[in-house]
Homo-oligomer: A and B are copies of this chain.
Amino acid sequence: MRDEPVLRLRVKLSADFAMGPGKADILDGIARTGSISAAGRALGMSYRRAWSLVEAMNAAFAAPVVETSRGGAEGGGARLSDTGEAVLALYRRMQEEALAATEGSRADMATMLGDLSDDA
């Protein structure tokens, strides 16, 4: 599952923080599942790591991207803040923009591939 996209981009936003596919996937997973642990499971990633990525993002942005709650009947959960929604939307948009902008170049490069590469 989750075959990696044709174009992966990693955006360096500051000296020690970058936004990449992994963090975007986590945001997406949390939005869909309502919890960090479920998102981690869905992505085949350990909870530890999923939580670490969330922590990194929350620390990097001015406002937290993920809001969490502990306890309760369901044990707790997590959801995207407005900032989180915006960050995810912007990352997706960047991906689309990059994909579209490089369409010609990628096609040109693809023509140079050998026959062994384009199967399967």
Total identical chains: 2
Residues of B within 8 A of A117 (CB): 13-17, 60-61
Residues of B within 8 A of A112 (CB): 61-63, 83, 86-87
Interface size range of chain A in the complex? 35 or more
**A residues 93-120 in Cβ contact with B at 8 Å:** 93-94, 97-98, 100-102, 105-106, 108-110, 112-120
Whether A62 lies near B12 (C-beta < 8 A) is no
Residues of B within 8 A of A61 (CB): 112-114, 117
Residues of A within 8 A of B (CB): 4-17, 19, 59-63, 83, 86-87, 90-91, 93-94, 97-98, 100-102, 105-106, 108-110, 112-120
